[in-house]
Every structure is written in C-alpha cells, then in structure tokens.
C-alpha cells in the first residue's frame, strides 16, 4: 500500500509539472532571429538552454523573422496563437519601424493589437522595449521609446525598457553593421530578459 501511495504521489507530481509546462512564443525581428549568426548561438537558443538548466519544461517557439515590422508581426500573430497556443508571448518588434522612420503612433497601434490578441488567447505578454540611435533626432527617438512605456502602463503588462541595454552602441558587442548584436552579446540579451520572464513561466 505504501508503494502504491508513493507511486501515485510521483504520478501527481509529474502531472502537475506537465500541466505547468507551456509554450513560450517569441515574435520578433532579426535580433531574435539571430541574424548573421548560427541560430544555435542566438539568445533564444540560450533561453532554451536556461529553461532546461533550471528545470522548466516549457517549449520555446521562435517565430522571429529578419526585417519584420510591427505590422508584419500583427498580421502573423493570429495564426501563431492558434497553432501554438502559447502560455507566454514575447514581443520583440519595432526596431525596423524606427529605422524606417514610421510613425510611433502606428507602432503603438500595431503592438497594442498584438497585446490584446495575445491576452485574449489566454497568454501572458512580455514586451521588449527598443530605443533608437540619437541621430534620428530627439523628438522622434523620445516618441518612439515612449510607445513601450505607455503600452506597458496601459495594458498592465511586464516589459523590459531596453532590450539592448548594455549592448547597443558598444562596437565590441555588435556585428560589423553596427545594428545586430554579435555572438558575445547574446548572453547579455538573455540576462536583460530573464528576470522579467521567469515569473511568467
């Protein structure tokens, strides 16, 4: 009888762990798609390794596409939500909107729509903020950065103020194009995300 209770207890623990496991869906652009690198070197791959190392059983789905904008992500998200049924959605978009000089108001509308759709599906949302180089002008760069803080406040979601904190603007951590993080920066990107992501798992 004692053995039976022990076996039943172990089975319940396993069931609880499986029930807690979910899918982390990352919808981003070239930074999360590991542009210029072997994808196994990117921060998303490092995230998968961190999850396993810390005993999480969550599955990571990287739906990031180089060159994608917030409009592209908005168009792709509904099908991704249906296909993967994620427990957590990480939004890493907007950099290409800014580099193209698109209106911050449109970026905000697109990201707001994505946040609403993800939350409506039952997923938790983590927003990764972006900032632009100062050569885009103070007025535009401030309006761009404010999009993320405003959305985090309005939608009551966790966010990382600047995903590239400690990386952007540092030539030693960037690839030759000065836009995409190098291999040595990928661990830093993960560390920028992990403290805010872990409580959502």
- Position 21 confidence tier, pLDDT thresholds 50, 70, 90: confident
The residue among 17 and 169 whose pLDDT is bigger is 169
Q: In this predicted structure, what is the pLDDT of residue 125?
A: 98
Give catalytic residues, as residue numbers. 30, 177, 180
Q: Which two tokens stand for residue 43?
A: 């921060």
Taking 90 as the threshold, does the pLDDT of residue 10 lie above it? Answer: no
- pLDDT recorded at residue 13: 45
The domain segmentation of the chain, as residue ranges, is 23-200
Query: Whole-prediction pTM value?
Result: 0.90
Confidence of residue 16 (pLDDT cuts 50, 70, 90): very low
CA distance 43 to 57: 18
**For domain 23-200, is the CATH number 3.40.50.970?**
no
Neighbours of 41 (CB within 10 A): 14
Show Cβ contacts of residue 144 under 8 Å, excluding neighbours closer than 6 positions: 94, 98, 104, 107, 130, 131, 132, 136
The Cα–Cα gap between 73 and 30 comes to 12
CA angle 103, 160, 135 (to 5 degrees): 45
Phi-psi region of 28 (alpha: psi -120 to 50; beta: other; left: phi over 0): beta
Residue whose token pair is 């885009």: 136
Q: Give me 49's structure tokens.
A: 């390794």
Which pLDDT tens digit goes with each residue over 72-116? 999 999 999 999 999 999 999 999 999 999 999 999 999 999 999
The secondary structure of 83-120 as a DSSP string is: HH--SEEEEE--HHHHHTT--HHHHHHHHHHHHHHHHH
User: Residue 33's closest CA among 4, 73, 2?
Assistant: 73
Q: What is the pLDDT of residue 85?
A: 98
């Amino acid at each position: 009888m004692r053995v039976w209770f022990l076996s039943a207890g172990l089975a319940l623990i396993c069931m609880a762990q499986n029930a807690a496991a979910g899918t982390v869906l990352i919808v981003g652009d070239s930074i999360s798609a590991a542009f210029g690198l072997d994808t196994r070197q990117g921060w998303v791959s490092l995230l998968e390794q961190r999850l396993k190392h810390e005993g999480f059983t969550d599955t990571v789905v990287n739906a990031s596409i180089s060159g994608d904008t917030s409009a592209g992500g908005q168009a792709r998200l509904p099908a991704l939500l249906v296909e993967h049924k994620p427990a957590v959605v990480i939004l890493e978009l907007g950099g290409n909107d800014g580099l193209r000089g698109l209106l911050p108001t449109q970026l905000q509308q697109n990201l707001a729509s994505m946040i609403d759709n993800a939350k409506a599906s039952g997923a938790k949302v983590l927003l990764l903020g972006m900032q632009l180089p100062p050569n885009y002008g103070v007025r535009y760069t401030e309006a761009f950065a404010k999009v993320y803080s405003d959305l985090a406040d309005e939608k009551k979601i966790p966010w990382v103020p600047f995903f590239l904190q400690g990386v952007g603007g540092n030539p030693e951590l960037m690839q030759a194009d000065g836009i995409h993080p190098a291999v040595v920066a990928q661990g830093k990107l993960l560390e920028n995300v992990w403290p805010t992501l872990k409580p959502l798992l």
